[in-house]
Amino acid sequence: MLPIRSDRTAVEREGPRSVDSSDGRENEENEEEEDSEADTERSEGVSNLVVVSNRQPYRHNYADESNEIVVDQPIGGLTAGLDRVMRDIDGLWIAWGDADADPVVVDAENRVRVPPEDPSYTLKRVWLEEEAIQEYYYGFSNQVLWPLCHDLVDKMEYDESYWERYRDVNETFAGIVAEAAPDDAIVWFQDYHFALAPGMVRPALGEDATLMQFWHIPWPAWDTFRVCPRRRELVEGLLATDLLGFHIERYRDNFLEGVAACLDDAAVDFDAGEVEYEGHTTVVEAFPMGVDVERIAELSERADEAFWPSFCDRFGIDPDASVAVGVDRLDYTKGIPERLDALDLFWEENPEWRGELTYVQRASESRSAIPAYQQLGREVKEQVERINERFGTDDWTPVVYIEDHLANEELYGLYRHSDLALISPIRDGMNLVAKEYVAAQADEDGVLLLSTLAGADEELGAQAKTVEPYDSAAFAEAIEAALTMPTDERRTRMRTLRKTVAENNLDDWIDAVLERTQRLRDGENGRESSRERTDGN
């Protein structure tokens, strides 16, 4: 077996072998108690669940030149939530094996039982050649679909070779699903990497299988989506699903309107949220995704008053200053340059806040093989340097730019001790950082500044301080208003936000999707709005 140590596990390199759940398992005590009753209730009716995703839940890497392999485990977010479900039902997860030691630990059919310390389900890895990675992942997925769906057509770089490779990789995954899944399986495709796969799997598994897909990024209006030369093939692939999910109603409506415009022979019922096409019915609904509220709250509460001075000393932050935080991948959709513009203007027009407000930007590198992302990284760093040179002093750095990895306890501690969170994407499917910040606000005294262009605005906008990322002047005014907001108002807003986030957490989201799927298998169609689901909790 592959023994485990915390969230990164050191194991001996042994070469290719079959990994079986009974192979030398040690009796190790699980450190995290699980609510088995809730897990059992959730798993009813989904015992044949197959998850298909680009990202895998467990990665095996060589630690160094020694004979050790480290196992990266899911420690939060969707992957961790689905991991709990898959453990309970002994499901099958199919994903790209992208880590250097992944081939060492699989059996002859590219399978490995996970998690290492308590093998409970099967991870089946798919291998991709470098050319496929460049054209399927960096090409069509992230230079065509990503900018297109975020309404940034000028960032789109369409190449026919990207499309051909995207189709080929979808065929590869579809073939593996068809071979591995039972005829009555529930197959859950994750995100925009697999728009074609449902249409390829359906003929092989037939109508007894239930296919569903969650599209984690926005779906644009038809006038934007029609720019894509392969729009029809993409829409037809998604219409092979039984259930297609989006974060919010607006994306759902955009998709339905696009189907009606793209496919003359599709029957679209906008009220029911259903599409009938070529004899098959697809239900399209909104399921606003949540976060693991209890875990975030627990970790943030560990970051007590002793944590903050140490963290500030490490990164050169004045512990007595007010702190605004932003946590983002380096992605052009996140609005980081626009946010820095607003901060520049804020310090220019509010000199009394120089030395009194520090902005902490945690930025993680993303898709650095794509030129647009390389350029963004350079621009952001140059912008930070200009602001710091303009306003900084020997005792104060206006923008603290952190590229270091932060453990979850440190990240949630940063959220807890930050007076403001600046969440200002220029387009975002949901933006879970906004919800994480709220969940981490154990002291209930922070202010969330949230872009109207984030999906989360539909749930949180009423109690957040809303901002328009392109309007630097109004954004700067919102920062000043948040900093001077009366304590009672801050606490009232944050308590309401925390209640909203707690009532629709990650487990609730997973349950809503799986319960809706089960009703479809039982023959119940008809749309249930996300608002009705929330009100019924």
| pLDDT tens track for 314-329 | 999 999 999 999 999 9
Among candidate residues 126, 156, 179, the one where a domain is terminated = 126
Q: Specify whether 279 is located in the same domain as 370.
A: no
- Whether residue 368 is contained in a domain is answered as yes
Please give the order of strands across the beta sheet that includes 420-423: 399-402, 357-364, 322-329, 420-423, 447-451, 465-467
- Return the pLDDT at 46: 80
Q: Specify whether 300 is located in the same domain as 239.
A: no
Q: Is 67 helix (H, G, I), strand (E, B) or coil?
A: coil
CB-count burial class (<10 Å; 0-12, 13-18, 19+) for 25: middle
Q: Specify whether 425 is located in the same domain as 476.
A: yes
Q: Residue 531: is its pLDDT beyond 90?
A: no
Q: Specify whether 91 is located in the same domain as 174.
A: no
CATH number of the domain that residue 263 is part of = 3.40.50.2000
Amino acid at 129: E
Token pair, residue 138, equals 């960096």
Place of tokens 């209930």: 444
Q: Give per-residue pLDDT as tens, 205-217.
A: 999 999 999 999 9
- Return the pLDDT at 40: 52
Please give the average per-residue pLDDT across 257-265, as a whole number: 98
Pairing between β-strand 322-329 and β-strand 280-286 as defined by DSSP bridges: unpaired
Q: Specify whether 355 is located in the same domain as 490.
A: yes
DSSP letter at 351 equals G
Q: Residue 18: is its pLDDT beyond 60?
A: no
Residue with the larger pLDDT of the pair 249 and 30: 249
Q: Which residues lie across from 358 on neighbouring strands?
A: 323
Q: Specify whether 491 is located in the same domain as 529.
A: no
Please give the average per-residue pLDDT across 95-123, as a whole number: 96
Does 115 sit behind a cis peptide bond, omega within 30 degrees of 0 on the bond before it? yes
Q: Which residues lie across from 80 on neighbouring strands?
A: none
Amino acid at 400: V
- Whether residue 27 is contained in a domain is answered as no
Q: Which residues lie across from 449 on neighbouring strands?
A: 422, 465
Q: Distance (Å, rounded) from C-alpha 447 to C-alpha 465?
A: 7
Token pair, residue 319, equals 């512990």
Q: Specify whether 520 is located in the same domain as 456.
A: no
> How many structural domains does the chain have?
3
Q: Distance (Å, rounded) from C-alpha 67 to C-alpha 198?
A: 40
Q: Specify whether 409 is located in the same domain as 450.
A: yes
- Whether residue 351 is contained in a domain is answered as yes
Q: Specify whether 303 is located in the same domain as 411.
A: yes
Contact criterion met (CB below 8 Å) for 150 and 333: yes
- Return the pLDDT at 66: 73
- In which band, very low, low, confident or very high, does the pLDDT at 67 lie, cut at 50, 70 and 90? confident
- Return the pLDDT at 305: 79
- Whether residue 40 is contained in a domain is answered as no
Q: Give per-residue pLDDT as tens, 359-400.
A: 999 999 999 999 999 999 999 999 999 999 999 999 999 999
Please give the average per-residue pLDDT across 40-52, as a whole number: 76
Place of tokens 């991948």: 329
Q: Specify whether 189 is located in the same domain as 335.
A: no
- Return the pLDDT at 526: 54
- Whether residue 335 is contained in a domain is answered as yes
- Return the pLDDT at 12: 35
The runs of H, that is alpha helices, within 320-370 are: 336-349
Q: Specify whether 279 is located in the same domain as 422.
A: no
Q: Give per-residue pLDDT as tens, 122-137.
A: 999 999 999 999 999 9
Percent of the chain with pLDDT over 70: 89
Contact criterion met (CB below 8 Å) for 82 and 51: yes
- Whether residue 136 is contained in a domain is answered as no
pTM, full prediction? 0.90
Neighbours of 21 (CB within 10 A): 14
Q: Specify whether 520 is located in the same domain as 447.
A: no
Place of tokens 């946590």: 327
Q: Report the Cα 479 to chain-centroid distance in Å.
A: 27
Q: Residue 1: is its pLDDT beyond 70?
A: no
- Whether residue 232 is contained in a domain is answered as yes
Among candidate residues 126, 156, 191, the one where a domain is terminated = 126
Q: Residue 25: is its pLDDT beyond 70?
A: no
Q: Residue 334: is its pLDDT beyond 50?
A: yes
Q: Report the Cα 186 to chain-centroid distance in Å.
A: 22
Q: Residue 222: is its pLDDT beyond 70?
A: yes
User: Strand (E) positions, 274-331?
Assistant: 274-277, 280-286, 322-329
- Whether residue 313 is contained in a domain is answered as yes
Mean pLDDT for all residues in the chain: 90
Angle among Cα 350, 351, 352 to the nearest 5 degrees reads: 90
Q: Residue 48: is its pLDDT beyond 50?
A: yes
Q: Distance (Å, rounded) from C-alpha 252 to C-alpha 528?
A: 13
Pairing between β-strand 8-12 and β-strand 68-72 as defined by DSSP bridges: antiparallel
- Return the pLDDT at 63: 86
CA distances from 508 to 142, 212, 296 (A): 29, 17, 15
- Return the pLDDT at 30: 40
DSSP letter at 353 equals G
- In which band, very low, low, confident or very high, does the pLDDT at 14 lie, cut at 50, 70 and 90? very low
DSSP per residue, 205-273? H-TTSEEEEE--S----HHHHTTSTTHHHHHHHHTT-SEEEESSHHHHHHHHHHHHHH-TT-EEETTTT
Q: Residue 528: is its pLDDT beyond 90?
A: no
CA distances from 70 to 13, 78, 106, 525, 532 (A): 10, 22, 15, 45, 44
Among candidate residues 72, 97, 126, the one where a domain is terminated = 126
Q: Residue 179: is its pLDDT beyond 80?
A: yes
DSSP letter at 90 equals T
- For residue 529, give its domain range: 167-289+506-535
Continuous segment of H or E residues that includes residue 72 = strand 68-72
Please give the average per-residue pLDDT across 470-482, as a whole number: 98
Please give the average per-residue pLDDT across 256-278, as a whole number: 98
